[in-house]
Structure 1
Amino acid sequence: MSTAPSLSDTTTAPSPDAVTLESDPRAKDRAGRAAMTELMRPVAGMLRLGRLLSGASAVLAIAPYVALVRLGEILLRAWSSGSAPDAGQVTLTVNVLIGTFCARLTLYFLALAITHFADAKLGAHIRGRIVDAIGRAPLAWFTSTNSGRIRKAIQDDTHTVHTLVAHAPVETTSAVVMPLALLAYALVIDWRLGLLTIAAFPLYAALQAWSMRDMNIKTAEMDTRLARVSATMVEFVSGITVVKAFGRVGHAHDNYAKAAREFSDFYLAWTVPLLKGSALSSSIVAPPVLLLINLGFGSLMAGAGWVSAADVIACALIALVLPASIEVIGHSQWSYQLAGASALRILQVLETPSLPTPPHPAEPQGNDIRFDHVSFSYGETLAVDDVSLDLPAGTTTALIGPSGSGKSTLATLVARFADPDRGTVTIGGVEVRKMTTEVLYRHVAFVLQDPQLLRMSIRDNIALAKPLATLDEVREAARAAMIDDFVLTLPNGYDTVLDDDTDLSGGQAQRIAIARALIVDAPILVLDEATAFTDPESESEIQRALNQLVAGRTVLVIAHRPASVKGADQIAVMERGRLVAVGRHDEIADQPYYAGLLRASATDGDRSAATKEN
């Protein structure tokens, strides 16, 4: 029996591959089925064994009906002869019934146990492959969209596949084999009674086929439309602060409302006829209708002496079982369709592009950095355009430029968030592509504007890159980062777990991130101005911590304020992906962008001083 599609299976914004399939639901359905087959390959043998045991269990389902007919014959024979029923025959029939019933339950339990073990194995296999895939992915790949896809693949989509692996093979096989076995037995009892058991089903099947037409195509389209609703919702919620600030709440909400309205119209247009057809077809195989057909015509046949009363009752009961089996098959097919979309998303995550691993890893022979004619693009957008820049060991270089100038992209190439399209980035004379990630991150540490603390203890957050660090080492790094005193005021000190209930200011979180970088003791440091979004008091403390951090290191800092760059050994100005000026503060003071930055800073300083005087 058909069921209305569930609205609980929301999705994140689609990946580029999914976007390609959006316009063609048939192609998406085919891709989903192929993805499901590929994903289940590691446990295919276990699933076949589960289906085999389930089929054997389903065949044994005819035992109660055989016993019913047999007992009916014994009792009717005894009643006709006026004697007591044969106790031995009755006992044997009951014992066979109990034995086959226990055997059926045992086989069914074993089948479910095998498929659940297969599900556990597949879940561990999928999650392991996802972790391996994202572990080899470029750090630049981890945008908020891709992070949402990973979360959904590991949690939601893997759970959707669970139902298909752990339950569907056993339940679907039983739902197919059991009615066929029962129908075969009904035909053995009497071919006319056997035909009566399925008399209502041709019309039922026709109505179901009509109402369920293009079900797989509609399911794929539903998944795509839900992705659009989810994407507009995330866009609206994530940008609500800016939207409200500019009084554009209504406009931003319209995009989400439009996507939701379009989905609602599609969903109602699909499911209303589906539910009507389902209700009509279900009424045809309702128990009263089936009993009326089987008992009504069966009693006429029994009255004519063609069959016994026990035969009629057994076949009538068989007829009542068939609709439930068909309903299970319908639910399973719907699960397969949903799981196909989930499997497709999982495979897309597993196909995440990975950074090439060097066949012959090398170790840097120094701490200097060199960009040699480096270019890098995001799709068709050129972010870094033929940049050459030398950063001598032990010096501080400040990257400045307007938003979108490419300074952050250039800096993150040092930490190999991605590989340049052209040119090379070298550390100590060795190209970063020729280093293993372990070697690279032993030489390069970074502190970004967003500290990205994990849901674990403060001690583990600080010791993230040095898991075997002692508490004394952790506290030494925390003291240098000016955060030790605060941590000791917490009830659990360094064992305090950071979660949604932990009340940390932005400055405190940033200083924990600085302590994390200090404990690594890497000779090269990439800073994306850590004080950009903090209050003045926190900024002062963070700046003191940074002074500890940068001492003696090669530092590349992405700067936004002139005060942060005046003391740098060199200042590099970027505009539209190109390097337009390099020098010390006094050497580039006349450079247009830098001069404008200085004037704006002076104006802000005058305003601040005037405010204090007032």
Structure 2
Amino acid sequence: MSKQINKQPTSQKTTTANEKAPKAIASTWKKILHYCREYTVPFVASVVFSIIGTILMLIGPDKLSEITDLIADGFMRGIDLKAVQKIGITLLVIYAISFVLSSLKGWIMSTVTQRISKKMRRDISTKINRLPMGYFHHTTSGDILSRVTNDVDTLSQSLNQSIGNLLSSLVLFFGSLVMMIWTNGLMTLAVLAATGLGFVFIIIIMKHSQKYFKQQQAHLGTLNGQIEEIYGGQIIVKAYNAEEDEERTFKKMNEQLRVSAFKANALSSLMMPIMAFISNFSYVVVCVVGATLVLNGHINYGVIVAFMVYVRYFTQPLGQIAQAIQMLQSAAAAGNRVFEFLEAEEMPVETDRALKLNDTKGLVEFEHVQFGYTPDKVIIKDFSAEAKPGQKVSIVGPTGAGKTTLVNLLMKFYDIQKGDIKIDGVSIKDMTREEVHNQFCMVLQDTWLFEGTIRENLIYSGENVSDETMIEACKAVGLDHFIRTLPDGYDTVLDAKTNLSQGQKQQLTIARAMIDNKPMLILDEATSSVDTHTELQIQKAMDDLTVGRTSFVIAHRLSTIKNSDLILVLKDGDIIETGTHDELLSQNGFYAELYNSQFE
């Protein structure tokens, strides 16, 4: 694959990408600066401290030049120790103030960047709740986690270490240049000629390294997604002996990350050695040119001493500027991924949908519903049905018929494209998602438990739940005895050390739904992971739970829905049969075929 890519002509495409790259970087940094606008005052204070501290440093070489000249002249007429002492104290005060200001700058930048990281992670957390479900179907969890952790950390560290250093380095660079010109123009020209080569190399390196920093962040997100996916499915990987296949996939992704990271860091790491060489070469130039000028009587020895320090002040910032720009490039790449997430299309705002259901009866009507996850692929074509209050409605059909999609639409996880869904005559389009969710308790086929106590998992997001209610729900699903055998009972922490079977996890989620006690109920193959004996116990609890509640049951095991008030048979997004279990069997149609196939 890589060989084919390398052989492709890249002239026009690369040119276009290179033209867009600076604009993209500028756009990203504009967003970053706008995002940090509330911290303008501390940023400005940090800049002021940095500038003042750097200017004070630039005064030092001039004072050193004075001391050198006093000592050199003193060999002939005697050294003026009081003058030397006065200049020495002045230097000590100057460097002490510069140190304090530099420390303040560092403290301010560290504090501000940590607050920016906190704000950014908080905004990402808020953003997650506003994104449509479709976003998570197209983006891996690992990639999202990488943006929350790696990209935010990279951006924070780059802001902390680059902006302050870049500003102080620029001030030091141009300040030392001004001081050198003021001290001696001829030696300044010699230093500029020696360091000019460094500028050329820095510009070339910066031009080529940015694209690799972007690739590095993207490859890191992809790799994290693959790792998160495999760690979560280790049992399946081992069961299918797919370790070698997954290892090859990991190695391929890891190699992509290694190559992009190597190219980015290898190019950027060239800056410091180049600048070290230029700096050393500049010292040689200063010594040679300075010695010639001293012998000819054009300058004093103090000028050479001052220039030795100025050369360090002039060339050192070049390396620091190059390093800061490298970090800014890395920050731009990370920031682009973060803002790409923060700017993702959100679910429609629902401030105009204020209708609430105070006493829900449970009448649910589907009116000519049409939906597809993508516009070109319609899954639900023309679905119409009615669930009367208190009815147990089962939805059956082959895989891909649209059963789970109907539940997603009913819960308003997705907005329907045509038609309408009404609860007690009120369209869910006129209700907020939170209000729709408040009407249903839900048990899914895939269990979800977080690391916390059993009690916390059972009363998840609930308020004022009594122990009696919790215990009764666990007794109803046959879980109370098992919980009491655990070391801490209901306060046992569910983590890697607590070994729960899949069936027990399912029982916990069902008990959670019973405690939630919402007006209506959705069961998506809720008993698929339990044994026959436990299933009968849970089924009885479910029958008790569904009394007086409109219930929607998605089932593949048709024997569990015999007592349903209404069975909807779906195929290719349409209802092809409706009725009770006995009525559908007597029709000897598609439902009867599905039912009998389970016993063949």
Q: Is 1:382 aligned with 2:375?
A: no
Within the candidate set 130, 136, 146, 2:124 is matched to 130
Q: For 1:184-234, what per-residue CA distance to the aligned partner results, in whole angstroms no more than 9, with x for missing partners?
A: 222222223333434421122223333443333443345455566666777
1:303 alignment counterpart? 295
2:591 alignment counterpart? 594
Instruction: Evaluate the alpha carbon distance shift between residue 74 and residue 468 of structure 1 in structure 2; reply closer, same or farther with a 3 A threshold.
Output: farther
- 2:362 corresponds to which letter in structure 1? N
Instruction: Evaluate the alpha carbon distance shift between residue 311 and residue 436 of structure 1 in structure 2; reply closer, same or farther with a 3 A threshold.
Output: same
- What 5-or-longer segments of structure 2 have no aligned partner? 1-13
Contact preservation (8 Å) 1:405, 1:577: yes
2:208 alignment counterpart? 214
Within the candidate set 147, 160, 165, 2:159 is matched to 165
Q: Is 1:293 aligned with 2:285?
A: yes
Query: Which range moves more in the overlay, 141-150 or 188-197?
Result: 141-150
- What 5-or-longer segments of structure 1 have no aligned partner? 1-20, 604-614
Question: CA–CA distance in 2 between the matches of 1:168 and 1:440?
Answer: 48
Q: Secondary structure at the match of 1:186?
A: helix
Instruction: Evaluate the alpha carbon distance shift between residue 263 and residue 314 of structure 1 in structure 2; reply closer, same or farther with a 3 A threshold.
Output: same
Within the candidate set 444, 468, 476, 1:448 is matched to 444
Instruction: Evaluate the alpha carbon distance shift between residue 59 and residue 275 of structure 1 in structure 2; reply closer, same or farther with a 3 A threshold.
Output: closer
Within the candidate set 469, 494, 512, 2:508 is matched to 512
Instruction: Evaluate the alpha carbon distance shift between residue 474 and residue 327 of structure 1 in structure 2; reply closer, same or farther with a 3 A threshold.
Output: farther
Q: Secondary structure at the match of 1:200?
A: helix
Q: TM-score, normalised by structure 1?
A: 0.84
Query: Which range moves more in the overlay, 167-176 or 224-233?
Result: 224-233
Contact preservation (8 Å) 2:50, 2:101: yes
Q: Secondary structure at the match of 1:56?
A: helix
Alignment of 1:187-266 (within 5 A): 187-224=181-218
1:410: how far off? Answer: 0.3
Q: Is 1:316 aligned with 2:308?
A: yes
Q: For 1:499-554, what per-residue CA distance to the aligned partner results, in whole angstroms no more than 9, with x for missing partners?
A: 33332221222222222212221011111112223444554554444344333321
Alignment of 1:353-432 (within 5 A): 353-364=346-357, 365-379=360-374, 380-432=376-428
Instruction: Evaluate the alpha carbon distance shift between residue 550 and residue 146 of structure 1 in structure 2; reply closer, same or farther with a 3 A threshold.
Output: farther
Q: Secondary structure at the match of 1:403?
A: coil
1:373: how far off? Answer: 0.9
Query: Which range moves more in the overlay, 555-564 or 144-153?
Result: 144-153
Within the candidate set 317, 330, 342, 1:350 is matched to 342
Contact preservation (8 Å) 1:400, 1:560: yes
Instruction: Evaluate the alpha carbon distance shift between residue 209 and residue 132 of structure 1 in structure 2; reply closer, same or farther with a 3 A threshold.
Output: closer
Instruction: Evaluate the alpha carbon distance shift between residue 152 and residue 32 of structure 1 in structure 2; reply closer, same or farther with a 3 A threshold.
Output: farther
Instruction: Evaluate the alpha carbon distance shift between residue 507 and residue 249 of structure 1 in structure 2; reply closer, same or farther with a 3 A threshold.
Output: closer
Question: CA–CA distance in 2 between the matches of 1:29 and 1:538?
Answer: 63
Question: CA–CA distance in 2 between the matches of 1:230 and 1:575?
Answer: 38
Within the candidate set 22, 31, 42, 1:38 is matched to 31
Q: Is 1:330 aligned with 2:325?
A: no
- 1:94 corresponds to which letter in structure 2? G
Q: For 1:151-200, what per-residue CA distance to the aligned partner results, in whole angstroms no more than 9, with x for missing partners?
A: 22322222122123323221110111112212222222222333343442
1:307: how far off? Answer: 2.3
Q: TM-score, normalised by structure 2?
A: 0.86
Instruction: Evaluate the alpha carbon distance shift between residue 90 and residue 213 of structure 1 in structure 2; reply closer, same or farther with a 3 A threshold.
Output: same
Within the candidate set 61, 64, 80, 2:76 is matched to 80
- 2:419 corresponds to which letter in structure 1? G
Q: Secondary structure at the match of 2:438?
A: helix
Instruction: Evaluate the alpha carbon distance shift between residue 175 and residue 594 of structure 1 in structure 2; reply closer, same or farther with a 3 A threshold.
Output: same
1:261: how far off? Answer: 5.8
- 1:186 corresponds to which letter in structure 2? M
Question: CA–CA distance in 2 between the matches of 1:495 and 1:463?
Answer: 12
1:558 alignment counterpart? 554
Contact preservation (8 Å) 1:460, 1:467: no
1:308: how far off? Answer: 2.5
Question: CA–CA distance in 2 between the matches of 1:417 and 1:542?
Answer: 27
Question: CA–CA distance in 2 between the matches of 1:483 and 1:28?
Answer: 59
Instruction: Evaluate the alpha carbon distance shift between residue 26 and residue 399 of structure 1 in structure 2; reply closer, same or farther with a 3 A threshold.
Output: farther
Q: For 1:73-117, what per-residue CA distance to the aligned partner results, in whole angstroms no more than 9, with x for missing partners?
A: 3322332212x4232x33332232222222222222332333333
Question: CA–CA distance in 2 between the matches of 1:150 and 1:228?
Answer: 10
Q: Is 1:114 aligned with 2:108?
A: yes
Q: Is 1:575 aligned with 2:585?
A: no
- 1:348 corresponds to which letter in structure 2? E
Question: What's the Cα RMSD here?
Answer: 3.2
Instruction: Evaluate the alpha carbon distance shift between residue 170 and residue 581 of structure 1 in structure 2; reply closer, same or farther with a 3 A threshold.
Output: same
The percentage of aligned residue pairs carrying the same residue is 24
Q: Secondary structure at the match of 1:381?
A: coil
Q: Secondary structure at the match of 2:582?
A: coil
Instruction: Evaluate the alpha carbon distance shift between residue 231 and residue 479 of structure 1 in structure 2; reply closer, same or farther with a 3 A threshold.
Output: closer
Instruction: Evaluate the alpha carbon distance shift between residue 266 and residue 139 of structure 1 in structure 2; reply closer, same or farther with a 3 A threshold.
Output: closer
- 2:364 corresponds to which letter in structure 1? I
